[in-house]
A and B are shown apart, each in its own frame.
Chain A
Amino acid sequence: DTGVSQDPRHKITKRGQNVTFRCDPISEHNRLYWYRQTLGQGPEFLTYFQNEAQLEKSRLLSDRFSAERPKGSFSTLEIQRTEQGDSAMYLCASSPLGHSAPNEKLFFGSGTQLSVL
Chain B
Amino acid sequence: AQTVTQSQPEMSVQEAETVTLSCTYDTSESDYYLFWYKQPPSRQMILVIRQEAYKQQNATENRFSVNFQKAAKSFSLKISDSQLGDAAMYFCAYRFYNNNDMRFGAGTRLTVKP
Task: Give A contacts to B, CB under 8 Å.
Answer: 3, 33, 40-45, 48, 55-56, 58, 89, 91, 93, 101-103, 105-106, 108-111
Contacts and interface: CB of A to CB of B under 8 A. Distances in A.
Interface string B87-114: 0000101011111111111110000000
B93 to A, nearest CB: 7
Interface residues of B, number: 27
Given A41-B104, A102-B32, A108-B37, 20 more contacts: A33-B100, A40-B106, A40-B107, A42-B4, A42-B93, A42-B106, A43-B104, A44-B104, A45-B101, A91-B45, A93-B45, A102-B33, A102-B95, A102-B98, A102-B99, A103-B52, A105-B47, A105-B50, A106-B47, A106-B102
Interface of B: 4, 32-33, 37, 42-47, 50, 52, 91, 93, 95-107
